[in-house]
Amino acid sequence: MKYYIIAGEASGDLHGANLMRAILRKDPSAEIRFWGGDDMKSVTGSPVRHIRDLAYMGFVEVALHLKTVLGNISFCKKDILEFQPDVIVYIDYPGFNLKIAKFAHEHGFKNVHYISPQLWAWKQGRIKPMRRDLDKLCYILPFEQDFYARNHFPQAVYVGHPLLDAVARFKTTSTIPNPQGKPIIALLPGSRRMELGKTLSPMMMLAKKHPEYHFVVAGMTLLGDKYYQPIIGKAENVTVVYDKTYDLLSHAFAAVVCSGTATLETALFNVPQVVCYRANAISAAIARPLIGNKIKYISLPNLIADAPIVTELIQEGFTFDQLEREFDKITKDPQSRQQILDGYAHLHTLLGNAGASDRTAEEILKVLKQ
């Protein structure tokens, strides 16, 4: 069978790689063409488009790169028609993927979307076209089951969270630079260029104020030194390690994390964390009334548990004074650390077992047999 898989961000690349492995176990002769990154490339082939050229997020960021985005959409449509896949698998990245899904449905291709857009938070108007265009929607958050039942989405199925697969596969193979043997603080400033300046600068202020710790930045080679070093400067107790986030988390005493997939990864490694996020002011102003009071939290641990397991410092609340205050709690207050760890234990119970990649591959095969 011929599979066309589209992932547009770093997390999608990780989940896409595990899904590709699962597909190849079940269909060893599978022919896979994909948009993704180095993780997917390590499984088979090379990406049609690399995620380094795709990861735009927010109204302003997309507008600034609109010509590139539209060019990628046009190319993707032509590439699908040329490849003639038996099924197209969309991994998250809804702004792009749902446009392609509409086109693919109109041309008679089978569509499977893996990792649902956050329709319960905003853009619920997407439900109707998704019902029309998708043969299967594989969602990964346990509370989404009620949402899709209420909204009469019969082709939606819960497969579990793929991060459980990624963490289960991981075995640390390297040490983290720590010349003075100090407790390691993991800094996860995000995977997009737009995020770094807004999150990494306050993190560096924290590092300068706390020489008793060694701060390690989870860097990404798809961004490179030119984006990290101007912000980090010559701080003696700061190191950047590239593409070793799980190694870093397996050695970390605590973490400061940009909101996103990394917040759940940090929780699955049982590292107490403070979550932070600051979007472009215009993007935030546009998004705020659209989201309204639909969600209480933005970090995955809190969303899944529907409880404040970790502290979130968002937009105007993400100040250095607030960050310093919360950092002291997760590093110096045993009770605060234990409360977070207890919350993580509950989170593990809610998420259940690994196997999302295999279950999703099975759902894809069911669609192919229909």
Buried b / exposed e over 333-343, threshold 16 CB at 10 Å, is eeebbebbeeb
Specify the CATH number for the domain of residue 118: 3.40.50.2000
Over residues 275-311, the pLDDT tens digits come to 998 864 444 443 444 444 567 899 999 999 999 999 9
Looking at the structure, do residues 38 and 23 belong to the same domain, yes or no? yes
- As a whole number, mean pLDDT of residues 202-223 equals 92
**119, pLDDT greater than 90:** no
Q: By the 8 A CB rule, do 312 and 297 touch?
A: yes
Average pLDDT, the chain: 89
Q: Range of 214's domain?
A: 184-351
Over residues 59-96, the pLDDT tens digits come to 445 444 566 778 899 999 999 999 999 999 999 999 89
Answer yes or no: is 192 within a domain.
yes
Looking at the structure, do residues 282 and 328 belong to the same domain, yes or no? yes
> What's the CA dihedral at 314, 319, 322, 328 to 10 degrees?
110
Confidence of residue 175 (pLDDT cuts 50, 70, 90): confident
Answer yes or no: is 165 within a domain.
no
- As a whole number, mean pLDDT of residues 21-26 equals 97
Which phi and psi angles does 258 have, rounded to 5°?
-70, 135
Looking at the structure, do residues 199 and 343 belong to the same domain, yes or no? yes
Whole-prediction pTM: 0.84
Residue 126 has, within 13 A of its CA and on its CB side, a CA count of 20
Looking at the structure, do residues 195 and 133 belong to the same domain, yes or no? no
Looking at the structure, do residues 123 and 79 belong to the same domain, yes or no? yes
Answer yes or no: is 87 within a domain.
yes
Answer yes or no: is 315 within a domain.
yes
- Spatial CA neighbour of 160 closest among 319, 309, 360, 2: 360
Answer yes or no: is 276 within a domain.
yes
Looking at the structure, do residues 125 and 251 belong to the same domain, yes or no? no
**206, pLDDT greater than 90:** yes
Looking at the structure, do residues 7 and 150 belong to the same domain, yes or no? yes
| 148, containing H or E segment | helix 144-150
Answer yes or no: is 93 within a domain.
yes
Looking at the structure, do residues 47 and 111 belong to the same domain, yes or no? yes
Looking at the structure, do residues 202 and 336 belong to the same domain, yes or no? yes
Least confident of 170-179, 214-223, 300-309, 360-369: 170-179
Answer yes or no: is 200 within a domain.
yes
Answer yes or no: is 321 within a domain.
yes
Most confident of 125-129, 158-162, 314-318: 158-162
DSSP state of 3: E
Number of domains within the chain: 2
Looking at the structure, do residues 332 and 208 belong to the same domain, yes or no? yes
> What's the CA dihedral at 95, 96, 98, 104 to 10 degrees?
170
**122, pLDDT greater than 90:** no
Confidence of residue 32 (pLDDT cuts 50, 70, 90): very high
In the prediction, which pLDDT does 350 show?
94
Instruction: Find all residues with CB under 8 Å of 67, minimum gap 6, and list them.
Output: none
